[in-house]
Amino acid sequence: AQSVTQPDIHITVSEGASLELRCNYSYGATPYLFWYVQSPGQGLQLLLKYFSGDTLVQGIKGFEAEFKRSQSSFNLRKPSVHWSDAAEYFCAVGTNTGNQFYFGTGTSLTVIP
């Protein structure tokens, strides 16, 4: 069965520090992978996605993620975090039929001055 694991429930980083949010997935075929960000009381905003090709994908707001098939991972990174990045981050895997998304439980990011 498909599943997504985000092992870190909550992460705190200092503004300007680098960030890595972990995501592992379980899916039998080649997955479609996504990262979404959700600010309090808001909807889901797509940060980036991986369908095929280059395993390092660039997204909005300076985020990037790398697909590593051997590790079944799709970790999100940012070299320098801004206070406005404080939010909930969700990793998701989509099936190649486009029929369903599976979300991770989310990682809550706190940014301290």
Partner 1 sequence: EPEVTQTPSHQVTQMGQEVILRCVPISNHLYFYWYRQILGQKVEFLVSFYNNEISEKSEIFDDQFSVERPDGSNFTLKIRSTKLEDSAMYFCASSDPITGEQYFGPGTRLTVT
> Considering only 12-20, 31-39, 53-61, 74-82, which stretch makes contact with partner 1 by CB under 8 A?
31-39
Q: Does 110 bind partner 1 (CB under 8 A)?
A: no
CB of 72 to partner 1, least distance (A): 19
Those residues with Cβ within 8 angstroms of residue 21's Cβ, 6 or more apart along the chain or in another chain: 6, 8, 11, 35, 75, 76, 77, 89, 91, 107, 109
What is the Cα–Cα distance from 20 to 63, expressed in whole angstroms?
Answer: 10
Chain positions 50 to 109 lying near partner 1, rule: CB under 8 A, are 51, 90, 92, 94-106
CB under 8 A: which stretch of 16-24, 38-46, 62-70, 77-85 binds partner 1? 38-46
Among 42, 55, 80, 110, binds partner 1 (CB under 8 A): 42
Give me the DSSP letters along 13-45.
EETTS-EEE--EEE-SSPPEEEEEEE-TT---E
Q: Which residues bind partner 1 (CB under 8 A)?
A: 32, 34, 36, 42-44, 46, 49, 51, 90, 92, 94-106
